[in-house]
Amino acid sequence: MSHADLLDPAPVFQLKGSMLAITVLELAHNDLARLDHQLSEKVAQAPNFFQNTPLVLALDKLQPGAQRLDLHALLAVCRSHGLRTLAIRANLAEHIAAAQALDLPVLPPSSARERPIGPGATAAPVPAKKPEKPAEPLVRPTRVVTTPVRGGQQIYAPGGDLLVLAPVSAGAELLADGNIHVYAPMRGRALAGIKGNGQARIFCRVLAAELLSIAGRYKVAEDLRRDPNWGEAVHIHLAGDVLNITRL
Amino acid sequence: MAKILVITSGKGGVGKTTTSAAIGTGLALRGHKTVVVDFDVGLRNLDLIMGCERRVVYDFVNVIQGDASLSQALIKDKRLENLYVLAASQTRDKDALSTEGVGRVMDELRESFEYIICDSPAGIEKGAHLAMYFADEAIVVTNPEVSSVRDSDRMLGLLASKSRRSENGEEPIKEHLLLTRYSPDRVTKGEMLGVEDVEEILAIRLLGVIPESQSVLKASNQGIPVILDEQSDAGQAYSDAVERLLGKETPHRFLDVQKKGFLQRLFGGRE
C-alpha cells in the first residue's frame, strides 16, 4: 500500500449508534457450583436460548461480603452453557479491574428497562426495539355546535377550539383548551384555554355572559356589565393578567 | 299513530296540571280519543282539576305493579266520552315508578288512544324524567318571570338530551312554548317579561299565551277544566292553543291591553 493510498479520503468505516436488546445475567450469589447446576436446568428447559447467546454479566447485584469472585471461572461456566459474555456490568473496583485484565468491556450499572426472561422463552430475545409510536396529535379539529346550548349543559372541546352558532343560555358552560367563538347571544359561561393556554381568546356576537375566563383569569357579569361593550360584538383576550374586551 | 305529549316546565306552580286538563279536554272535544296521565306520584292533583277525585279506585302505580289492569284504573270523564284520566297514587312516591313499568303502560295506552297527555310533576328528578322520557312532543309551560324561564330552559336541555328519542338517535321531541299567567298591563309597565323576551331566551315555537285569569281558580275549585268555560279569556286562549297544536294557524289573542269602555270602568271593577 503506497503512501498515496493511505491519503485516500473515501471513508473506510462509519460509526453508528444502535439499540440492541440483550440478555443480562444478574449474579446474586458468588456460587459458581450452584450457578453451573441451575444453568444446566435452564438449558434443559429452553435449549434454543442457550446457543451462543450474547450476554452481559451483571455483577452489581452481588450480595456484599461475598468472597473474591473468580471472573475467569465464571466466564467459563457461562461459555460452557452457550452464553458468550460481551461485557460485564459492575460498580466495584476489583470487578472492573478483573474485567479489564480479561479484556472485557465494563458497562456502568444502567437504569435501562430490563425484562426478566421467563422459562418459556424459546426464541432469541427481541432483535430490535420497536420505534417510538408518534406522539398523539395534540390539536383536535374545532368542535362546532349548532343547536342552542341550554342551561345546565356543559360542552368541552379538548385540545382545540369551540364554535357555537346558536344561543347559549344562562347557566350553560362552554369550555375549551383553545378559543371559544359564540356567533349568537352569549348568556352563559365561557372558559377558554382551560389547560393554561393564555393565548386563547373568546369571541361573542352579543356579550351578555355570566362569566368569561381565559386560562383561569376571569370576570363575572357584574364587572362585564360595566364595560361599554356589553351587549355588543366583542373579542376578549388576556393581556398580562387582565382580560381585555375589544369591540369587533 | 298515537302521540305522547308531555306537559312540563321545571318550575312548580306555573300551570302544568291546568294545561294538561285543558288541552286534554280540548282534544277530546274535537273528537280525538285522549287520556291524561298524572305523573306526580304522592302529590296528585290532576284528578281534582278534572273533577273525578271521588271516582279513583286504582291508580298508575297499581297498574305498573300489576295490582290492577289498565281498564280498571282508567276513569272515564263524565262530560266527554272521548276523555279518560289515569290518576297517580297518593300514598306512594316517585320511587314507585320505573322506566320499564311506565314504558309498558305507555305501550298499552298507545293501542287504544290517539293522544296521551303526560302531566309532569315539577322538578327534574325521576318523576319529571319519566314523564318526558317517552314523549313525542312537549309543551313547556312558562310564566313570564325570570326563574320560570331559567327552569324551562333547563328542562328544554333535558328534553333534548335525556329522552328516549335522543338516546335512540331518533327525531328529537317537538317542543312548544306555552306562556301562562300573562298580564299585558304589567308587560307594558315593564314589570313583566314580554312574549318576545321569552321567545328570544328560549328560542322555541310559541304555542299560545294564556292570560292571567280569575277563571282558572274558579275552574280548579269546581273541577271543570277551564277550557270548558267558553266565556273566560283563559278558556278561549286554551282553545286557540289546541287549534294550533292540531296544525291550524290562529292569531294570538289577549296579548294587548284590553281597553276598558266607560261603563266597564264604572261598573266593571277590576278586570
The SS3 assignment for A36 reads: helix
Q: How much of chain B is in helix, strand and coil states, percent to nearest 5?
A: 45, 15, 40
- Greater confidence (A22 vs B140) lies with B140
Contact A150 B153 (CB under 8 A): yes
pLDDT band at A122 (very low <50, low <70, confident <90, very high): very low
In this predicted structure, which of A162-166, B200-204, B254-258 has the lowest mean pLDDT? Answer: B254-258
pLDDT exceeds 90 at position B182: yes
The SS3 assignment for B29 reads: helix
pLDDT exceeds 60 at position B136: yes
The candidate with the shortest Cα–Cα distance to A183, out of A154, A210, A205, is A205
In this predicted structure, which of B13-17, B201-205, B257-261 has the lowest mean pLDDT? Answer: B257-261
Compute chain B's Rg from CA coordinates: 18
Interface confidence: ipTM more than 0.85: no
B115 forms bridges with which residues in the sheet? B3, B34
Q: Which tens digits make up the pLDDT trace of A227-244?
A: 999 999 999 999 999 999
- Greater confidence (B214 vs A105) lies with B214
Binding residues of B: 11-18
Contact B157 A150 (CB under 8 A): yes
| CA atoms in the 13 A half-sphere facing the CB of B115 | 28
- Greater confidence (B38 vs A55) lies with B38
**For residue A124, what pLDDT is reported?**
47
Contact A167 B161 (CB under 8 A): no
Give A152→chain B minimum CA distance, Å: 6
In this predicted structure, which of A57-66, A147-156, B151-160, B216-225 has the lowest mean pLDDT? Answer: A57-66
Cβ-based contacts of B154 with chain A (< 8 Å) = 150-152, 171
**For residue B54, what pLDDT is reported?**
94
Q: Which tens digits make up the pLDDT trace of B61-89?
A: 999 999 999 999 999 999 999 999 999 99
Contact A152 B201 (CB under 8 A): no
Q: What residue in B sits closest to A187 (Cα-Cα)?
A: B201
Cβ-based contacts of A167 with chain B (< 8 Å) = 201, 203
Give B131→chain A minimum CA distance, Å: 19
* A216 touching B (Cβ < 8 Å): no
Query: Cα–Cα distance between B257 and A63 in angstroms, integer?
Result: 99
DSSP structural state of residue A123:
S
For B169-233, the DSSP string reads: T-SPPEEEEEEEEE-HHHHHHTSS--HHHHHHHH-SEEEEEEEP-HHHHHHHHHT--GGG-TTSH
Q: What residue in B sits closest to A147 (Cα-Cα)?
A: B160
Query: Cα–Cα distance between A164 and B9 in angstroms, integer?
Result: 26
This prediction's pTM = 0.70
Q: Which tens digits make up the pLDDT trace of A145-190?
A: 999 999 999 999 998 999 999 999 999 999 999 999 999 999 999 9
A148's CB contacts (< 8 A; 6+ apart) are A166, A167, A168, A169, B156, B203
Contact B153 A171 (CB under 8 A): yes
* A29 touching B (Cβ < 8 Å): no
**For residue B269, what pLDDT is reported?**
55
**For residue A123, what pLDDT is reported?**
46
**For residue A131, what pLDDT is reported?**
56
* A205 touching B (Cβ < 8 Å): no
Give A231→chain B minimum CA distance, Å: 14
User: Residue B25 is which amino acid?
Assistant: T
Chains A, B: CB contacts within 8 A come to 34
The answer to whether A141 touches A161, Cβ cutoff 8 Å, is no
Query: Cα–Cα distance between A166 and A76 in angstroms, integer?
Result: 79
How large is the average pLDDT for residues A81-91? 86
Domains and CATH numbers, chain B: 3-268 (3.40.50.300)
Contact B150 A153 (CB under 8 A): no
**For residue A43, what pLDDT is reported?**
82
Task: Write a three-state SS string for A39-97.
Answer: HHHHHHHCHHHHCCEEEEEECCCCCCCCCCCCHHHHHHHHHHCCEEEEEEECCCHHHHH
Percent above pLDDT 90 for chain A: 42
**For residue B251, what pLDDT is reported?**
92
Which of B154, B200, B203 lies nearest to residue A152, judging by beta carbons? B154
In this predicted structure, which of A173-182, B61-70, B174-183, B253-262 has the lowest mean pLDDT? Answer: B253-262
Contact B157 A166 (CB under 8 A): no
For B30-79, the DSSP string reads: TT--EEEEE--TTS--HHHHHT-GGG--S-HHHHHTTSS-HHHH-EE-SS
